């Protein structure tokens, strides 16, 4: 039974017997016309994880697709006054922040693009610069992460609750406040990566580490960098040889790609684990903050949540990792490297977090477009 399930898991991303035909290689736009009707399983997962009715889940998915599609134009309309953007789930609309010195013409242009407008004090450029200065500091273990929060119009510094009084943490907070607008919040635990020791029958292994496949690219798949170093061999669920890590970066980044061969090849699918039908991947349009996102992993399978922050620096015990996206989705050991997807749009690969899928938690992913750009890869799309 387990062997059959795991064979199905590998067929969802690396197919040994058969082939899938890709309709194109370029990332698809996230417009309503490209998205097929949501499956019953996906809607059930949204209802379970967000407490929605079926019709509310359908409406939210449609609103998120619209917000994802119009965000680039709204950002351009805001110009230098751009203060960030996010999806407002309550209103079902994209909100774009503009600085108080923006003229009426700029505000009208943003609204004409289809977004709501909020006036803020600090531009996204100023907040990004403050975060970049904090990135150059050496963070102690009691500092979990930091990111720009566009809705709060500040850089949020997350500190482990039990470490806030630590002298090193207090010094770091003082120096961070000198970089620009900073708000300190607490989290219950420090972040950790979600790799796991060898467990028989799960999707892929390198040495004694078990991780999850992210997204198929032409020639292989992308995954988390902490799962293996360049040159390391990779075996599948049945311990047969898949291929080799061709590139890997961790810490600083947490991404890697694995070339495949020996009878294995790639397919544009994310496994639904029986919770939802397997999802075809049609592109990699980036979902906004506030949008829903779902994760597939070999340990805890399929779970959904919300995009909480982008470009967050995560302070793992092995070192800081930059440009991460934070979500409210849970994960556990062995889920590392697995797929984050919004609708049919690839978002990133699972890195780490805190908590678990029994009590809840938060999980970060490394955005997939950064990985594709870094290694010159092409996402395998349907």
Catalytic amino acids? 226, 254, 336
Residue (of 283, 271, 275, 241) closest to 258 by Cα position: 241
Lookup result for tokens 């975060």:
131
Q: 3-state DSSP call for residue 63?
A: helix
CB burial readout 53-82, b (16+ within 10 A) else e: eeeebbebbebbbbbbbbbeebbebbeebb
Rounded to the nearest 10 degrees, how much is the dihedral formed by the CA atoms of 217, 221, 223, 228?
Answer: -140
Name the DSSP letter for residue 27: P
Q: 3-state DSSP call for residue 242?
A: strand
Residue (of 64, 88, 86, 61) closest to 74 by Cα position: 86
Q: How far apart are the first and last CA of the chain?
A: 29
Kindly tell me the sign of the dihedral angle through the C-alpha atoms of 76, 82, 83, 88.
negative
CB 71 within 8 A of CB 342: no
């Amino acid at each position: 039974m387990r062997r059959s399930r795991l064979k199905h898991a590998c067929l969802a991303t690396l197919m040994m017997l058969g082939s899938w035909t890709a309709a194109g290689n370029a990332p698809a736009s996230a417009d309503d016309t490209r998205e097929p009707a949501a499956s019953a399983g996906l809607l059930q997962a949204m209802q379970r994880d967000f407490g929605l009715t079926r019709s509310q889940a359908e409406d939210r998915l449609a609103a998120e697709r619209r917000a994802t599609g119009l965000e680039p134009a709204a950002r351009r309309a805001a110009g230098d006054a751009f203060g960030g953007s996010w999806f407002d789930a309550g209103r079902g609309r994209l909100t774009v922040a503009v600085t108080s010195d923006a003229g009426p013409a700029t505000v009208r242009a943003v609204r004409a693009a289809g977004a709501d407008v909020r006036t803020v004090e600090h531009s996204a450029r100023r907040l990004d610069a403050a975060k970049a200065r904090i990135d150059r500091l050496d963070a102690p273990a009691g500092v979990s992460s930091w990111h720009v929060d566009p809705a709060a119009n500040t850089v949020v510094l997350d500190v482990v609750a039990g470490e806030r009084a630590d002298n090193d943490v207090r010094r770091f907070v003082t120096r961070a406040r000198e970089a620009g607008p900073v708000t300190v919040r607490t989290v219950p635990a420090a972040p950790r990566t979600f790799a796991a020791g060898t467990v028989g029958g799960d999707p892929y292994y390198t040495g004694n580490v078990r991780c999850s496949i992210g997204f198929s690219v032409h020639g292989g798949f992308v995954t988390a960098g902490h799962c293996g170093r360049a040159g390391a061999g990779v075996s599948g669920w049945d311990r047969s040889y898949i291929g080799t890590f061709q590139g890997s970066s961790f810490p600083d980044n947490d991404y890697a790609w694995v070339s495949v061969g020996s009878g294995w090849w790639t397919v544009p699918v994310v496994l639904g684990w029986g919770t939802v039908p397997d999802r075809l991947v049609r592109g990699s349009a980036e979902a906004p903050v506030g949008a829903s996102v779902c994760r597939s992993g070999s340990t805890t399978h399929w779970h959904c949540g919300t995009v909480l922050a982008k470009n967050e620096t995560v302070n793992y015990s092995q070192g800081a990792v930059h440009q991460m996206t934070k979500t409210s989705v849970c994960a556990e050991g062995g889920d590392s490297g697995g797929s984050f997807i919004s609708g049919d749009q690839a978002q990133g690969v699972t890195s780490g977090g805190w908590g678990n899928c029994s009590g809840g938690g938060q999980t970060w992913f490394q955005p997939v477009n950064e990985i594709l750009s870094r290694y010159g890869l092409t996402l395998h799309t349907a």
